[in-house]
Amino acid sequence: MADPPSLKLGSWINVESVNCVVSRLRARNCAFGDCEVVFNSAKPINIDIKWNGAAWEFVKTGDFGTYADKFDRLQPYIAILKSGNS
C-alpha cells in the first residue's frame, strides 16, 4: 500500500472528485480516518477521510458528515472553503 501524500491544515485536496479543505490531521490508520475535511461552500459539511492506498476516500458512516458551521474550531477552514480554490 502506497503512503498517502502529506497534507497540511487548510490545504485543498480532492476526495472522490470533491474539492475539500483539510480541517484536522490524525495518526495514520486512526479508527476515525486519516483526517477530516470540510466541503460544500453553500452548506459546509465536515467528514472524515482515509487513504485507500491509491486515493483519498470518504469514510462511510450511517450519515454523510455533519454541518460544519456548528463547530467553532472549523470556522477558519470554512472561510478557506468559501473563499474558493484559486
Please list the pLDDT of the chain residue by residue as tens digits (86 residues). Answer: 678 889 999 999 999 999 999 999 988 778 888 999 999 999 999 999 999 999 999 998 766 678 899 999 999 999 999 998 76
Give me the pLDDT at residue 10, please.
97
For residue 7, being part of any structural domain is answered with no
Residue 69's SS3 state is helix
Domain residue limits at 71: 12-83
Q: Is residue 1 part of a domain?
A: no
Instruction: Give the cell for residue 85.
Output: 480554490
CA distance 56 to 53: 8
pLDDT at 16: 96
How many domains does the structure of the chain reveal?
1
Cβ partners under 8 Å of residue 22, min gap 6: 7, 8, 9, 10, 11, 12, 13, 35, 36, 37, 77
68 within a domain of the structure (yes/no): yes
Q: Is 79 among the domain residues?
A: yes
* 28 assigned to some structural domain: yes
Q: Is residue 4 part of a domain?
A: no
